[in-house]
Amino acid sequence: MTKTALTPSLTPTALTPTAPTPVRPPRDRHRPRPGRRVAPGRRCRPGALPGAVATSRESSAPGRSPVYAGAGMSTPTQTTDPALEILHLSHVVKRPLVDTSGDRLGRVQDLIVLAGQSPHPPVVGLVVDIGGRDLFVPIRKVSAFEPGRVVFDGQRVDLRRFERRPGELLLARDLLAHHLINFVGGRLIRANEIELAKVNGVWEVVAVDSSSRPLLRRLIPGLRRRATEPGTIVDWASIEPFVAHVPSSRLRIPYRKLAKLHPAQIADLVEAASHDEGEEIIEAVGADRELEADVFEELDTEHQLEFVKSRSDQEAARLLSSMAPDDAADLITEVDQERRLPILNLLPEPQQKKVRSLLSYNPETAGGLMIPDFLSMPADATIGEALSAVRTNPAPPESLNVVFAVDEGQLVGSVSTVRLVQADPDAALRSIVEPEPVHIHPDWDLGAIVRTMSDFNLIVVPVLDPDHGEILGVVTVDDVLELLLPTGWRRDFGRTAVEE
């Protein structure tokens, strides 16, 4: 067990406006400056525990002592405790529970916290093995966590077997060595150590150490006996655990937190997580069908199929109906042959028509890559009318970067949305379009598409029928880039690796 006293030089709020500071000691570059907070979830150099700020929570109780507010929390600053006890979870679990006389009563199996009600969950008790039975010991009956043991201060122990109550998590069993989501940056981290602090007389979970230092402490006995500095520390307030595997837990990953991340970041989390963890993330974003579809579009094919296989045809069709038609077509071609037609027939008629049209092309040609949703306007329409159509058109934003002018269904020109914004809104669309725009055909392969878009610096290119008249769809640069990148690029080069 390691108890670290955080002196005032470590605590930003230790210097009150009236405190005399005649001599300014040299500042350790590894420690935060006084008055400076460490952002939640941000990495700290060894020796700097993020959020080690002793402040006072707003309370009507008179004379309430200062408490730990957590990293980046805006709590009124008052006085500071001279020392803040920090405890490693691994220095408590598997340690003997002794009475005040030093006689052994049992062995500590786990610590119990009440999650979901506070940014830093309080410890409510211990699970202790006494005579082969797992019993509950309330934290109020623990007088001290001493090196190598835990001291019990009570007259008797409740001999009823421990039963987990709703909302309770076991730190060692449920969280230690498990994946957690760090919402600062949208990364997975592994809880190699869980840090606790005694705050206003209450033990709370304040941080997680995701570095390899805790593993070294367990593997090398000599390090356990020496005071070791924390490694990569992440404030618990920025963390969300996976709890679907906890039978009595009523908690789930909050949708409101995931919704703040970009769909690609959520997809990265799913790809880095186990199947069950990924299902928990997908279930959380399922509250928003549009976000769920956006996340599915960002997943690689392997993970898309993994989650579609666990869904019924009706559930799969509901998901595909919210996806972009080209992404839905790509996914249908990958599902088992016997499921393709039933899923396709369950799609809404407009989506089904678009998907069937795309399925008639090779997926690696312009016809298979194109988005059938775009914006075309009569060449005689005004620029103001074209801008109004851009605002209300349901096509994907990337395909609305260019507006096409048509005359009796035939393409006569194109213009960028930026050029529309710069032009006179009362002028005719025909007056500013680029005549005979660069185009491609549905049977062109990827190499021809890339050369055309690169040579003419295009981010959107129209796909025309063989007679060079009707627009069939558009190909956007992001779809081309996705095909050019190597398989598994996210896993190898992206943000999906678990943060160590």
Q: Which helix (H) or strand (E) holds 86?
A: strand 86-88
**Eight-class DSSP state of 173:** I
Residue 222 lies inside a defined structural domain of this protein: no
SS3 302: helix
Q: How many residues are present in the chain?
A: 500
The reply to whether 412 falls in a domain is: yes
Q: Would residue 471 count as lying in a domain?
A: yes
Q: Is 380 among the domain residues? A: yes
For 488, residues 6+ apart whose C-beta sits below 8 A from its C-beta are: 300
User: What's the domain range around 459?
Assistant: 368-483
Q: Determine the pLDDT at residue 494.
A: 52
Question: What is the DSSP secondary structure assignment for residue 91, as one 8-state letter?
Answer: G
CB 115 within 8 A of CB 169: yes
Q: Would you say 206 and 72 are in contact if contact means Cβ atoms under 8 Å apart? A: no
Residue (of 165, 173, 107) closest to 135 by Cα position: 107
- Where b means 16+ CB within 10 Å and e means fewer, 377-398 reads bebebbbeebeebbeeeeebeb
Cβ atoms of 420 and 468 closer than 8 Å: no
Q: Whole-angstrom Cα distance, residue 282 to residue 319?
A: 11
Both tokens of 370, joined, read: 């194109």
Answer for the pair 91, 73: CB distance below 8 angstroms, yes or no: no
What tokens appear for 272 in the block?
């880095």
| Res 213: pLDDT | 73
* pLDDT tens string 52-89: 333 333 333 333 333 333 333 333 333 334 467 789 99
Kindly state whether residue 418 falls inside one of the protein's structural domains: yes
CATH code of the domain containing 389: 3.10.580.10
pLDDT reading at 443 higher than 50: yes
Query: Does residue 478 form part of some domain?
Result: yes
Q: What is the pLDDT of residues 364-413, one digit of tens each?
A: 899 999 999 999 999 999 999 999 999 999 999 999 999 999 998 889 99
More confident residue, 363 or 245: 363
Predicted local distance difference test score (pLDDT) of residue 491: 53
Task: Tally helices (H) and strands (E) across the chain.
Answer: 17, 22
Residue 40 lies in a domain: no
Question: Number of folded domains in the chain?
Answer: 1
In a domain, 87, yes or no: no
Place of tokens 């700097």: 48
Quick one: pLDDT at residue 151? 96
C-alpha to C-alpha distances, 472 to 127, 177, 257, 439, nearest whole angstrom: 66, 52, 39, 11
